[in-house]
Amino acid sequence: MQKRKLGRSGLEVSALGLGCMGMSFSYGPAADRQEMIALLRSAVDRGVTLFDTAEVYGPFTNEDLVGEALAPVRDKVVIATKFGFDLDPKGERMWAGLNSRPEHIKEVAEASLKRLRTDVIDLFYQHRVDPNVPIEDVAGAVKDLIRAGKVRHFGLSEAGAQTIRRAHAVQPVTALQSEYSLWWRKPEAEVLPVLEELGIGFVPYSPLGKGFLTGKIDATTTFDATDFRTTLPRFTPEARKANQAVIDLLGRIAAGRKATPAQVALAWLLAQKPWIVPIPGTRKLSRLDENMGAAALVLTADDLREIDAAAANIPVQGDRYPEHLEKMTGL
């Protein structure tokens, strides 16, 4: 697995990381814990070094899973987790609102360190921008944690250009994590230029469009009642039927390269900037291997032009989130 550096921070990770959320949260019932521990360790064996989790995933259970799985190989991996929500300590509900007050950030760090079975968090993201707390105060709190040796790097998620600049002025931001893929390209307009200017890495989540860009989902696909995609406008049967054109495009490119649509979608992301590190998630070893194959797939300039030209003529149907969730993003 090739390595990449997240901007000018010096933090080097595998070209593809692993998003761990779906192992225990959002995509239907949680997977078998021992199977997921085995999958996480298999990822390490295959060269993956960046693992992404958050306290809200579960809540709490995903951090605990990642902590147990990676404890034997802690010195070989980079663990990223996130703060920014008010959570029920019993884990009986997802979240009660945003909370990035400095004292809360420090409490979350202590709790996450215990669940992750480690003495330092490699990359600590603000999960969503909190409009009630100045970003300078957030950056200052993480700066304190870095000085204390409890955190190594500061990250933001779904933050807009001006928020990134303000935070970076207080504590250098190592990485921004936001959704980015062939069917969600909004970061290209304002965010990517700022990241390049400031030397900040970019970690796209949902690089496979929450599974849609794999080509394994169509208008007839049914989801478990607990799968959060049942709430997303972009995943209504009508939208999935309309958005099949994106899969057809990926399939055409993939057929000519003896690859899969998922590999083309990931290779396209990797080709955008050398400081982009996507974090596709999976529960299956076969999908892990498929995704990792994307790192070896080099798209030509002609491939990239063909993809961009065709994608420009495909209007993606459906909002990515319901309105109340979209409002929680800073883009």
The catalytic site residues sit at 57
Burial degree of 123 (CB within 10 A; 0-12, 13-18, 19+): buried
Looking at the chain, which runs of residues are DSSP E strands?
3-5, 12-14, 18-19, 50-52, 78-83, 85-86, 97-98, 121-126, 151-157, 173-179, 201-205
CA 298, 304, 306, 308 dihedral sign is positive
Where does 49-184 have alpha helices with state H?
61-70, 102-115, 135-147, 161-170
- Nearest alpha-carbon partner for 9 in 199, 188, 144, 140: 199
Residue 93: CB atoms within 10 Å: 9
Check if the beta carbon of residue 28 is closer than 8 Å to that of residue 226.
yes
188 near 158, Cβ under 8 Å? Answer: no
Q: What is the 3-state secondary structure (H, E, C) of 79-94?
A: EEEEECEECCCCCCCC
Note whether 280 and 266 are within 8 A (CB): yes
Per-residue tokens: 62: 């995903």
Return d(Cα 150, Cα 106) in angstroms, integer.
10
Kind of pairing, strands 18-19 and 85-86? unpaired
* DSSP secondary structure code for residue 207 in this structure: T
